[in-house]
Amino acid sequence: MIGVMTTASDPMPPATDPPERIRRVPSRLLGLAAAQADRLITAGLAGAKAHRWHYTVLASLGDDGPASQAGLSRRTGIWRSDLVAVLNELEAGGYVLRAPDPADRRRNVITITEPGRGRLTELDTLVTALQDRLMAPFDAREREQLVDLLARLVEGFPAGGCEQ
């Protein structure tokens, strides 16, 4: 509605009938799709008492092996300060083990545990089901094509993000 102010805690919903000239603007469509995907994944993982960073950390450790906290931060893109809280949660659940690095006792090495591997398998199954819901409008060929196009788009960004 015109004249209605919103705040960060009360975000404005997307326009249901936007002007014709913006209906097919790629950045707008990507933003709307990303917001929907975020809501779907966040809610789905919350139902399993997890969040995307739990899954990201477990996947990184499961796929690439143990890492220092700094290395895990670089691999996952999770800020070190945020990663500490994630590791605390995963360690409390028995999913990861933090131990002093034998080569440098000032840092910890993070390793996935057997229960962590089981949890990763559970989350893999859940995330696959959520991705299927997200991609429901597309057949298998279209899904693969969309993922390929999005990967090309993301890979085309400079290392620090989009240039202005």
3-class DSSP state for residue 23?
coil
Cα dihedral sign, 52-55-58-63: negative
State residue 33's pLDDT score.
95
pLDDT, tens only, 117-131:
999 999 999 999 999
- Mean pLDDT for each 10-residue chunk of the chain (164 residues)? 45 75 92 95 97 97 96 95 96 96 88 98 98 97 97 86 54
State residue 142's pLDDT score.
98
pLDDT, tens only, 88-101:
999 999 999 999 98
State residue 6's pLDDT score.
44
- Burial level of 17, CB count in 10 A (0-12/13-18/19+)? exposed
**Strand pairing partners for 101?**
104
State residue 102's pLDDT score.
86
State residue 106's pLDDT score.
85
Q: Where are the domains of the chain?
A: 49-133
Quick one: tokens of 50?
């997890």
State residue 5's pLDDT score.
44
In CATH, 49-133 is 3.40.630.40: no
